[in-house]
Structure 1
Amino acid sequence: MSEHVDTDDVCNTSRRNLMKGTGLAVAAISMIPAVTATGAFAQSPAWDKVFPKSENVDHQKVSFKNRYGITIAGDLYLPKNRGSQPLAALAVAGPFGAVKEQSSGLYAQTMAERGFAALAFDPSFTGESGGEPRNVASPDINTEDFSAAVDYLGLQPTIDRERIGVIGICGWGGMALNAVAADKRVKAVVASTMYDMTRLMSKGYNDSVTQEQRTQTLEQLSRQRWADAEKNGPAYQPPYNVLKGGEAQFLVDYHDYYMTPRGYHPRAVNSGNAWTQTTPLSFMNMPILTYIAEISPRPLLLIHGENAHSRYFSETAFAAAAEPKELMIIPNANHTDLYDRMDKIPFDRIAKFFGQHLA
């Protein structure tokens, strides 16, 4: 089962600082300090991803607008040997606080190697996508971003609009499930190492936040709105997550991905930037998995690491979902292993899942 994280312990760690003064522990969306870009990004500025470019895939930058008029930036990956028939397609996003040059791009390129058209995109207000102010999240608008990606895919002549699926990673896994529950055009969905950000922000890890703490959080966030209004712009949290020793292991794991050559990208919120202080407000009263059962009769595949602190999010989502559904637990994997560890991410199973259900 999932690791229990004591609220007081988390509040003593730097990843908790996105919610500084709010009484909540939200490590998944915390900010970490900027470092000099190293590794793949620094070595290959023309290829701005943290993973190697596949010789078997064509790549192009694209953009499209969501229903709110925000321009979404994406990377479209197509198999080189794709023939003349329209392809099944996938919209991919995540993790929460990441950009398309990180995990979602890796997933998209890998699925393109397996014969799918795959679109990795930056959610509104982040990365290369539009939206002001910068680095704010919304359970509504970011759910809409997935449907806007489906809009785009369905208009491409190389794509069969009746064969579109969705992959959501980490916090965007929850957004993906919310989007697919409402958007009946999507034929199948995979959520990998999924977080339900509305549950986390409103209840803390393992639902440990008390009603008193929740009320205190909302009081502080509400008053922050006045401070932002007076300055005509949002306050941001400072860069965080300089490890000082004694942090919970999952915080070390996040640092190992976002702050090292393995996954660092200068546009990622979690790689030295910051969410607005009031980002949690819209998440507090909007449980995005309320209608998860309405994904059915379309198939759902949840994938999570055996040792992930976040495993309980997928387990409870699986219990609430309707058939057909599958929960795949990856042995000896933690939360961030499913961001980029090619020996851990079950790409063969994902390809088989979509190959069957987008046929």
Structure 2
Amino acid sequence: MNIEPRNDSLAELSRRGILQLSGAAVAATSLMAMPATSAHAAQDSANWDKVFPKSNRVDHRKVSFKNRYGITLSGDLYLPKGRGADRLPALAISGPFGAVKEQSSGLYAQTMAERGFAAIAFDPSYTGESGGEPRNVASPDINTEDFSAAVDFLGLQPFVDRERIGVIGICGWGGMALNAVAVDKRVKAVVAVTMYDMTRVMSKGYNDSVTLAERTKTLEQLSRQRWLDAERGAPAYGPPMNELKGGEAQFLVDYHGYYKTPRGFHPRSVNSNASWTITNPLSFMNMPLLIYIKEIAPRPMLLIHGEKAHSRYFSETAFAAAAEPKELVIIPGANHVDLYDRADKIPFDRITAFFSRSL
């Protein structure tokens, strides 16, 4: 059942529209069922379903494991070829927010496997090939737990040195990664790339621009949406993510350029081919992620962000709040999505050196 929006000016929703609470746009968007998989699904092949080329320097296999809430997560495990009998340092990798393991996180995992690490890229709960109902919903608690569940999995593998496990979080999963490492003392080092603090942006808007009145209006709309969802017996979803109508901010154009073109499109990705539930922001609105960021120390943290990224302030304020040892690397000329897949922008040498000395 489709429900017409009450306010036409709020009907438009693109990649980050669900986060731009400054216009209180989240709850008043067009309430529709999730779109069907598009014709681009032909890109997904039986042998290799990633948006990046397969490396002949790594072994790959699909794996699954459960998190603490009993949700089965799906992952792609990458191992260096000719690794011998020595136990390997290992990395748990996820993100961006609304992406799947066949996109950016898989590229990072495969590249780090080429450099001698066991690396798993995984789909968070409720997305991609991972379990959980309803689909396409996020949780600051459950998605933080997903990282620790990946650490559980890695630590049980006979080829992994469980005392040398690190985490990489990308975009919105950068904030989740930092949150997970603050409480999971098994993790020895963490990298957050082009990081978003999803609780901050959903509750305060970009650059903390949301007023109390706007926040209250959004919460009233989200609360009433729950009645509609309860009446239908299923959550309503917004329009497909990252559709462009013209006149959008450049960062929204950049998201479209990754998720909606052959560069990064994947049929299972929320950002490429679907949408979040309308009420998705609720649990983010009063549950800040990074309150305990200081407790990552004395384990080292590396934050990486693009000089031109609209989201750069998230890493800068997280860096200021964190304790030593910490590093902040700003990539000249890079925007937010450049660090998803641009090999000439992503500082893999710096990331490798960081984990080599930290794990």
CA–CA separation in structure 2 for the residues paired with 1:116 and 1:281: 37
* TM score, norm. by length of structure 2: 0.92
| 2:20–2:205 CA contact under 8 A, matched in 1 | no
Structure 1 residues 57 and 196: CA distance shift in structure 2, 3 A: same
Residue 42 of structure 1: how far off its partner (Å): 2.0
The whole-number CA distance in structure 2 between the counterparts of 1:25 and 1:162 is: 45
Structure 1 residue aligned with 2:39: 36
CA contact (8 A) 2:194 2:305 kept: yes
Whole-angstrom CA distance in 1 between matches of 2:97 and 2:13: 19
- Cα deviation per residue 1:143-181 (whole Å; 9 max; x = unaligned)? 000000000000000000000000000000000000000
1:97 aligns with: 98
**CA 220–25 in structure 1, closer or farther in 2 if over 3 Å, else same:** closer
Q: Give the deviation of 1:14 after TM superposition.
A: 3.5
Instruction: Report what 1:329 is aligned to.
Output: 330
Q: Measure how far apart 1:44 and its partner are.
A: 4.3
Gapped runs of 5+ residues in structure 2? 1-8, 27-33
Q: Matched residues in 2 for 1:109 and 1:10: separation?
A: 40
Are the aligned partners of 2:22 and 2:204 in contact in 1 as well (CA < 8 Å)?
no
Paired position in structure 2 for 1:224: 225
| Residue 267 in structure 1 maps to residue 262 in structure 2 | no
Give the structure 2 partner of residue 145 of structure 1. Answer: 146
Equivalence for 2:18: 18
Seen in structure 2, the aligned counterparts of structure 1 residues 312 and 10 have a Cα distance that, compared at 3 Å, is farther
Output aligned runs, 1:64-83, within 5 Å: 64-83=65-84
CA-based RMSD of the aligned residues comes to: 2.1
- 2:311 paired with 1:310: yes
Q: Which of 302-311 and 45-54 deviates more? A: 45-54
> Residue 32 and residue 240 in structure 1: after superposition, are their counterparts in 2 closer, same or farther (change >3 A)?
farther
Preserved CA contact (<8 Å) 1:33 1:239: no
Distance in 2 between residues matched to 1:198 and 1:233, nearest whole Å:
24
Distance 1:119 1:159 in 2: 12
Query: For 1:115 and 1:20, how far apart are their aligned partners in 2?
Result: 40
Give the secondary-structure state (helix, strand or coil) at the position aligned to 1:270. helix
SS at match of 1:144: helix
Distance 1:54 1:126 in 2: 25
* Residue equivalent to 2:353: 352
The answer to whether the 8 A contact 2:21-2:210 is kept is no
- Identify if the C-alpha distance between structure 1 residues 167 and 11 changes in structure 2 by more than 3 Å, giving closer, same or farther: farther
1:101-151: CA deviations, max 9, x gaps? Answer: 000000000000000000000000000000000000000000000000000
**Residues 1:134 and 2:149 aligned together:** no
Asked whether the 8 Å contact 1:33–1:241 carries over to 2, the reply is no
Q: Could you tell me whether the CA contact under 8 Å between 1:22 and 1:218 is conserved in 2? A: no
Deviation at 1:230, TM superposition (A): 1.1
Deviation (angstroms), 1:238: 1.8
Amino acid paired to 1:36: A
Partner Cα distance (1:344, 1:20) in 2? 27
* TM-score (norm. length: structure 1): 0.92
Equivalent position SS for 1:279:
coil
Count of residue pairs the alignment pairs up? 344
Deviations 1:32-77 (A, max 9, x none): 9964327xx7274410000000000000000000000000000000
**In 2, distance between residues paired with 1:198 and 1:102?**
23
Deviation at 1:10, TM superposition (A): 10
3-state DSSP of counterpart to 2:258: helix
**Alpha-carbon distance between aligned partners in 2 of 1:313 and 1:11, rounded to the nearest angstrom:** 28
Q: Which amino acid aligns with 2:148?
A: S
CA contact (8 A) 1:61 1:75 kept: yes
3-state DSSP class of the match of 1:326? Answer: strand
Structure 1 unaligned residues grouped into runs of 5+: 1-8
Residues of 1 paired with 2:14 and 2:74: CA distance?
30
Map 1:110-189 to 2 at 5 A.
110-189=111-190
- State the partner residue of 1:6: none
Percent identity for Structure 1 against Structure 2: 77
Q: Is the 8 A contact 1:173 1:191 kept in 2?
A: yes
Output the CA distance in 2 between the equivalents of 1:101 and 1:260: 15
Q: Does 1:61 align with 2:53?
A: no
